[in-house]
Structure 1
């Protein structure tokens, strides 16, 4: 029951056809571009994967398909992590077991948020412990206040949960570097991995002890993120800071586009695969909004110039 190895993990978008059904051919193209870009693993059914809008069968199929694509194309070493957050403990347990059956190595679990006032610290601890006790694969905590009705787990609570032998990491999409550093400095990285969930604090997270990144922007720029990690490991901090500034601006521009629809529209426009369909109640992005994307346009050009 080990955490995922350090590196860059991409919460991949799931491409859909015009009828909002899984577009397996373009999902394959996307997974392969990410793998060829050097990422460490794929997060299937994260927030960018429209998990809450898919059926249990579709969620399981997306995980299974991702594992099959990687295995058949020489990327057996790339991990598949599955988002398995549900509205209840029972549903989360089922989704986690489904993910294990489909080939996921780890599960990323959101805090339930249908009734925020009921999500006291004891209830949150009981929820994660129950899921971890029954899960056939290690689980990770997913702290994302934007999609959990503002519930924001603090470092004390996360460090308490980290003591469970089957809870092996956290994704902090709250963007709080102080929280990340407190957690990373209080737990063994061999037993618990701490990841920021936003590319605009990628380098800051590495300096503070993170295990890498689980973020949306590598859907568009996998190679640039791999390059930044390489610069950091080589001690080329000045170059890393310069690249981080570009990634930070790019992450901001992507957020303004509306991450999921923005990612699909940009990939379709600049990498020539996939259609920008999303599942309702989300709406697709007007292509006119891609005309002025600031530093993200520069980053896309750099991404295309990096050789394999």
Structure 2
């Protein structure tokens, strides 16, 4: 019987490119190691922040393989890899799940297709995820992110119904809906189905409602803060955890204002000295010099805490 990913903090890792937009393996390695050294439970390769839709099938597979190799060669064999595999056809999604397994991923995170929103009825959504799970050689997870699926937002009844499938073992909720998260955690068993918050600004709120942790983009910048909050929460030190939560909430907002994926890369380059901030088009490069001092101060506050841990 497949088991869900263990509780903890995971990061949808950004991917780095050279000036000619090839994979920048030295920067990817530096990033993977810093994330692992930050105490994260796992790394999501090709989540939305990993620009999966901008990669070829071969690049997707190579990014997973290189991440696994980097972890294993540096003493981080226990860090879990989840691979984003959702694309617009069931057939291709099945292939990417098989590729992810071969490249070393332990789980597949599957985004709901969204090219034809009117066709994605409840029955069609359920059929898609079940067919992918039936074919996948590794356990699958549901990825709910309305912003990147033309507004398609899976409700708690759909997710709970899918949770009954033996090879569907979790969900990443990037919708930020804590009510939905709570309904799912109370209608499923945590040892069979893991519910993860997809946003740092509601990480503690999700834990209070029974989540297994978070799969959060801000951990690209501040992995140690996230793992510290999770540790405090598990120790029952909720007041201390909520003080950190306030910093994460402001930091999450600031990075979204700076520029999302390109903003994360730009901050990583400025603060840690690797990568060049480049994204593949049509995404645009973020110029940190144009960011207001008031907004970047929130990132400075985040970095000040991160560098003490």
- Provide TM-score, normalisation by structure 1: 0.98
- In the other structure, the counterpart of 1:89 is 90
Shift in Å, 1:277: 0.5
State whether structure 2 residue 1 is matched by structure 1 residue 30.
no
Question: How many angstroms apart in 2 are the aligned matches of 1:295 and 1:236?
Answer: 24
Instruction: Kindly indicate whether the alpha-carbon contact (under 8 Å) linking 1:48 and 1:216 is maintained by their aligned counterparts in 2.
Output: yes
- In the other structure, the counterpart of 1:161 is 162
Count residues with an aligned counterpart: 306
Question: How many angstroms apart in 2 are the aligned matches of 1:181 and 1:294?
Answer: 33
RMSD between aligned alpha carbons?
Answer: 0.8
Question: How many angstroms apart in 1 are the aligned matches of 2:239 and 2:137?
Answer: 43
Deviations 1:68-111 (A, max 9, x none): 00000000000000000111000100111110110000000000
SS at match of 2:11: strand
Question: How many angstroms apart in 2 are the aligned matches of 1:206 and 1:164?
Answer: 24
Instruction: Kindly indicate whether the alpha-carbon contact (under 8 Å) linking 2:258 and 2:288 is maintained by their aligned counterparts in 1.
Output: no
Shift in Å, 1:290: 4.5
1:305 pairs, out of 281, 301, 308, with 308
Question: How many angstroms apart in 2 are the aligned matches of 1:302 and 1:39?
Answer: 17
Question: How many angstroms apart in 2 are the aligned matches of 1:111 and 1:260?
Answer: 20
Question: How many angstroms apart in 1 are the aligned matches of 2:272 and 2:74?
Answer: 20
Instruction: Kindly indicate whether the alpha-carbon contact (under 8 Å) linking 1:250 and 1:294 is maintained by their aligned counterparts in 2.
Output: no
- In the other structure, the counterpart of 2:284 is 283
- In the other structure, the counterpart of 1:64 is 65
Structure 1 outlier segments of 4+, above 6 Å: none
- In the other structure, the counterpart of 2:203 is 202
SS at match of 2:128: helix
- In the other structure, the counterpart of 1:190 is 191
State whether structure 2 residue 233 is matched by structure 1 residue 232.
yes
Instruction: Kindly indicate whether the alpha-carbon contact (under 8 Å) linking 1:143 and 1:174 is maintained by their aligned counterparts in 2.
Output: yes
Instruction: Kindly indicate whether the alpha-carbon contact (under 8 Å) linking 1:266 and 1:290 is maintained by their aligned counterparts in 2.
Output: no
Question: How many angstroms apart in 2 are the aligned matches of 1:64 and 1:101?
Answer: 8
Shift in Å, 1:3: 0.5
